[in-house]
Structure 1
C-alpha cells in the first residue's frame, strides 16, 4: 500500500498519508486517529478477502455512524496499492443523509485483483497475498483448546481459511492450535487423511481379493490384485509428496516462534494426559499458552496467527513465511516489556520479510529500532484535519530519551511532579547566576533530599556553578585592580 486518504471518516476530517513500502509506524497523541486509519484500511482490504473467498458477508461498507458528525457531504476512505508495476485504487464512500448528489464506492479494481488471483489458481498453483488487521484486543488467549488424540483425523483448513476473520482484529489462538496439531499429525505419514482413505480402500480390496482366491476365481483375483498394486502406488506417491510439505510448514512455524519469543527453546505437542496440546519450553520450563505471561501470549497469538495464514496462502513456497501481504497492528508494544519492545519489529521484519507492516505505537523503545523514513507523526488541528510529519532525521539506534522528546514531543521528566518543577526552577536560577540566592539554597536542600545524590542534572549543575563562580570572581578581581 502506497497511500491512504481519508475524508470525514469518524473523527478524522482530512488525512493523506504516504506509506513506506516495508514499514510505517504511526505516532501521535491519544485521539489523533491512529486506530481509525488502520481500521479504514482494513475496510478496503475486506473487499479483496471476501471476493477471494466468495463471501461478501465479510466485506464492510461504511455506515452512517462512520460519517463525521460535522460533515455536510460524505465520508471517503481511499487506498492505493502497487503490485509490481501495476497501481490499483480502491475507495469506500458514504454520503450524509442530506447530501443531494449520488456518491458511490469504487471497489472494482480491488475486486478484479481478487478475481484474477482466484482465476489464476485454477490453472496453476499460486501464492496469495495476506491482508490482516490486529487490534488491541488481539491477544485474548483463554480456554485453550485441547484435542483428543483420535479427534484430529480430518484436515479442514483450506487456502480460503487464510482469509477467514483476518480483518476482525483478533488472533484466534484456538484456530491456530487446531491447525498446528493437524499439521503435526499430517507430518507423520500414518496421520494423513488422504492416505487413510486409500488405506481403507486397499483393505477392502484385499478382503475381496482373498474371497476371490478362496472361490478359485483366478482371473477376477488377478484384476483385483492389479487394482491393489495401483492403490499402493498411489499411497506411496501421496506420502512422498504430502509429508515433506507438512514437515516444512511445521518447521517454519516453529522457527517463527523461536525467533520472536526470548528464552524459547522448543515448541512441541504434549499427549501425556490423553489430549494433545501445544507446549512451549521457555527458559527450561514447559508451559502451555494459557499459562504464559500476557506479553508472551501477545507475541504467541500474533506469530501463530500470521504463520497459519501465510502457510495456508503460500503452501507452494519453500518458506511459506516469506509470503507477501499487508499487516496492520495497533499498539505494537501491547503488554511488552521495554526489552521486548526493542526487538519485536526488527524480528517481525526478519521472520516475515515480504510483509508490509503498518503499525501504531506510543513507545520510544519501539521507535529506537525504526528508521526515520518509516515514521509518520500525526497531529490533529482544531478541525480534526491531520498534519502528517515525515521529515524526521534520526531515530534508529537513538537513546529513548531523545526519541521521546524529539519525535513524540514529550518531556523526559513528568512536569506534573513537584520535584521536577523544583529542579527546573533551580536550574533556571543557576542560568540567571542566582545559585547562591536564598531561593536557590532552599531548593537545593530539597533536591538533595529528593535525589539522594543520584540525580545527574544536579551533578552537572555543580560543575556549572563552579565555572560561573570562577568567572564571577575573575570579573570582580579585574574590577578591583
Structure 2
C-alpha cells in the first residue's frame, strides 16, 4: 500500500492543492502556517477509509474524517467569514489488491451540525478490502497487513507526564488479535503507554519461558523463541535509530527498576527511558510505535516484521528535539529500519534536507490560486546544510541582525587596505563587544585581496 498523490479542495487553508509523493520517502517543507501539517492530516483522513474497515481500527480514527472545522473559510466584504463548499480530499494510491491505482475521496457538502462527509465508491471499496483482510486473518491465513501510522507533534507529551512504566497489567483479549496493530494508529494521542504495557508483557512472558527452560533443563520452547523474536524486532529497530546517535541501546523491561522500560549505555549504565532526554525519548517512542505495530500486524514474519511489512507512516516534525548531528542521520535510520514503509514527513531542518535529493522533497506554499506543491530547483543531497537553508528553504545563511551592516562595512575597509584606520578599529571594537567573531579564513581572504589590490596599484 502506498499513496501516489493527494488533491485538496477547500480543506483548511487551501482552496486547491495537488501534491504527489515519492514512493519511499517524502519530506514536506514550508514556513510555519503554510500547510505542511494540513497535508499530513489530509493523508490521515484518506487512510481512515482503510483503517475503519477493521473492528479494532474503527475506534482508531479519533476524528479522522473531513470535519466541519476542516472546511476552508473565506472573508466576506462585510468582514465576516464564509465556509467554502464543497470541501474534498481525493487520494490516489495502490492498495495491494492487484487492481492498480485507485482514486478515493471524502467530500463535505454541508456544514450543518452532525452532518457527515460522503465517500465515493472507491473509498467504500477500500473499507471492504480491509474487511476482507480481516476475514482472512480470522481464518488463520498468513496475509500481509500493511502498517498505517500517524505520529503527530503530540506523540511524546499528550498522555501527560512521559512514563516508561510497564507494570503488570492484564491485556484485553483484543490485544492478541493481529488487527490490534491498527488500534489508535490515526489518533493525535501518543500510543507509547500502550506500547509499554504490551512490551512489558512480552518481556515478562519471555523471562517465564527462559526460567521454565532452565528448570526443565531443556532448550527454549517455540513460544519462548517467538517472544525472543518480538523483542528482537523492537530492539533492532530502536537501536538502528538511537544507538549510533546517543549510545543508548537494548530496550528492555526490568522488574527490579520499578517495572519500567530501561536502556543501557556504555558510559552511564542502565537508566529508565523516562529519565532520558526529550530527543532520545521522542525517537524511542516514534520507532517503538512503528516496530510494535509491524509485529502485531504480521507476527508470521518473525524477526523480519519491521523490515518486510509494507505500509504508510505519517510523521509531523520528524526532527523534533533532535541535535543537528542526529538530524543528519534520522532519514537513513528510518529507511534502514523500515525499508518497505512509505514515509511522508514534515521538517524545518536543513540538516534533514541535506540527506535527500530533490526528488524526495516537496515545497508547500499558499498562493493566490490556492496552493502549490513542487520539487525544489536545487538538490541539497550531500551539500552543507547552509546550501539547503539558502537554496531550498530560501533563508539567508546569516541571520538578519543589526550588526550585519557593521560587519559588511568592516569587510569593505579591510579589502580597501584600511584595516588599521580609525573607522575600522572602532567597528572592530564594536563587533568584539557584541560578541561577534570573524572567521580567520575570511580575514585572510580580505587581507589577500587588499594586498593584491595594493600591488596592482603600484604596478600601474
Band of TM-score, shorter chain: 0.7 to 0.9
Moved more, 241-250 or 291-300: 241-250
| 1:40-189 alignment, distance < 5 Å | 40-53=42-55, 56-59=58-61, 60-70=64-74, 72-83=84-95, 86-97=100-111, 104-106=118-120, 107-123=123-139, 124-140=141-157, 142-148=162-168, 151=169, 156-188=175-207
Kindly indicate which of the two structures has a greater share of residues assigned to helix.
1
Residue matched to 1:326: 312
Unmatched tracts of structure 2, length 5 or more: 75-82, 212-217
Residue 315 (structure 1) aligned to one of 299, 308, 313: 299
Q: Structure 1 351/66 Cα, relative in aligned 2: closer, same or farther at 3 Å?
A: same
- Counterpart among 282, 303, 327 of residue 341 in structure 1: 327
TM-score with structure 1 setting the length: 0.79
Using the TM superposition, give the Cα deviation of residue 287 of structure 1 relative to its aligned residue in structure 2, in angstroms.
Answer: 1.0
Residues paired across the two proteins, number? 421
Report the counterpart of residue 379 of structure 1 in structure 2: 365
Please tell me whether the aligned partners of residues 248 and 265 of structure 2 are also in contact (alpha carbons under 8 angstroms): yes
Q: How does 1:122-271 map to 2 (within 5 A)?
A: 122-123=138-139, 124-140=141-157, 142-148=162-168, 151=169, 156-188=175-207, 190=209, 240-261=221-242, 262-271=246-255
Q: Is residue 59–residue 183 contact of structure 2 (8 Å, CA) maintained in 1? A: no
| 1:359 positional shift | 0.5
Q: Which whole-Å CA distance do the structure 2 matches of 1:88 and 1:187 have between them?
A: 43
Query: How do 1:431-470 and structure 2 match up within 5 A?
Result: 443=427, 446-447=430-431, 451-454=436-439, 456-470=441-455
- TM-score, normalization by structure 2: 0.83
Residue 456 of structure 1 and its aligned partner are, at CA, apart by: 4.0
Which piece of structure 1 moves more, 422-431 or 364-373?
422-431
2:19 to 3, 17, 22: 17
SS in structure 1 at match of 2:300: coil
CA contact under 8 A between 2:279 and 2:322: conserved in structure 1? yes
Q: Compared with structure 1, are the counterparts of its residues 61 and 452 closer, same or farther at alpha carbon in structure 2 (3 Å cutoff)?
A: closer
Q: In the TM superposition, what whole-angstrom CA distance separates every residue of 1:56-107 from its partner, at most 9, and x where no partner exists?
A: 4545332222111125432111111124561122211112559xxx984322
**Structure-1 separation of matches of 2:423 and 2:17:** 49
What is the rounded CA distance, in whole Å, between the counterparts of 2:71 and 2:354 in structure 1?
Answer: 36
Contact 1:67–1:96 at 8 Å: present in 2 too? no
1:423 counterpart = 2:423: no
Q: CA deviation at 1:325?
A: 0.8
Give the root-mean-square deviation of aligned CA atoms. Answer: 3.0
Q: Once the two structures are superposed, what CA deviation does each residue of 1:211-236 show, in whole Å capped at 9, x if it has no partner?
A: xxxxxxxxxxxxxxxxxxxxxxxxx9
Partner in structure 1 of residue 78 of structure 2: none
SS of 1:299's partner is: helix
SS in 2 for 1:77: strand
